[in-house]
Amino acid sequence: MNRFAIKAGLGACVLGASVLIPAQVSAEPAATATGTELSGMTVFLDPGHQGSSEGHDLAQQVNDGRGNTKDCQTSGMTSLGGVPEHTINWNVSQLVKSSLESLGAKVVLSRQDDTGWGGCVDERARAASESNADLAVSIHADSTAQGEDASKHGFHMIIPSLPIPDEKADAAQSGGGLEASKMMRDAYKSDGFVPANYAGVNDGLQTRADVAGPALTQIPLVFVEMGNGSNKEDSAQLESTDGQLKHAITITTGIVTYLLTGSEAAPAEGLAAAPAATTAPEASEDSASSTTTTTPKAAPKSTAPDSAQFSELMEMLAPLLEVEGLDGLQDLVNDKNLGLVSDLASTLMAVITGAGGN
């Protein structure tokens, strides 16, 4: 499987253009998506935090899933450039939502806007569980200092300490949740993101017993920390339009890889399944059916685009973003920019063709 074919195709998917999906084997070309590949599948997206906590007590104590309590919610970090985490999370989540829906998936959100209240951590976990989604993804950005912290950088996935007291949550997170988290980690590494170098993170994974969301969620959950908002380079990428788009494409790649190739996944109609991949600062958390524990398969090799290729795509995308902004990406195909979308799709196809196999 050519992971870049997934990534580049999802970039086009965000624009409403034709997309590509994993091929059965690397020798075969990636298939053209029909928009039904994820039909019948549901993803619960949790954009961390909220625009306003007015009328709510962030310090209200709620169940932490391990017999204790913790604060209902936190306000989230603010990047070095002054962008609140809740807005970064929201923008990325909207791009992921658009991409997944373009492939036929149903997407359920933990909050419906970036202005109001988003719910306590236990409420989001309950909403995720009740959605019966195939996968929940909680999207966050980390912070290690009030000001700049040049020494700490990188992404990571938060993995709950096992076992979890709740049997359904334990089965979900020790099975599909762990497998999906490793696939998401692999997608991040494949796309050139560097694993975090702090807080005990090991190859992009951090095991925690103090984050309530995974301990309360009874469906597989991936808890993404996209980067450290206290680090100058990480912060600049989290704040920028192209950086948020790159994170969104990577997160969508991880989700699609799990849904189509995970150990519990059934092949979509007309598509053969590909081989599957496989003292800390307080988390900025507000995360969100049981799956059996399985041994993840070996991750496939990937061909990620180099910086020049991504720059070329972003150069073509820039005029569209200037017209519509992030919130309008799903409506970009219209008379005034159809030519640009067509040019972008052609460029994506040319890059994919030149990328070769694994």
d(C-alpha 96, C-alpha 11), whole Å: 10
Q: What DSSP letter does each residue of 136-187 carry, written as one string?
A: EEEEEEE-S-SS--TT---BEEEEE-S--SSHHHHHHIIIIIHHHHHHHHHH
Q: List CB contacts of 295: < 8 A, sequence separation 6 or more.
A: none
SS3 280: coil
Give the number of other CB atoms < 10 A from CB of residue 158: 27
* Half-sphere CA count of 86, side-chain side, radius 13 A: 20
Tokens 């989700």 map to which residue? 255
Query: Are the beta carbons of 243 and 184 closer than 8 angstroms?
Result: no
Question: Which DSSP string do the residues of 102-148 spell out, in sequence order?
Answer: HTT-EEEES-S-SSS----HHHHHHHHHHHT-SEEEEEEEE-S-SS-
Q: What is d(CA 162, CA 352) in angstroms, rounded to the nearest whole number? A: 40
Distance between the two ends of the chain, CA-based, in angstroms?
Answer: 6
Please state the separation of Cα 304 from the chain's center in Å.
Answer: 17
Secondary structure (3-state) at 122? helix
Grouping H, G, I as helix, E, B as strand and the rest as coil, residue 15 is: coil
Closest by CA to 156, choosing from 97, 208, 213, 118, is 208
Query: Which one is catalytic: 85, 225, 239, 285?
Result: 225
For residue 32, count other CB atoms closer than 10 A to its CB.
11
* Residue 85 bears catalytic tag: no
**Tokens at residue 167, please?**
């049997």
Active site residues: 225
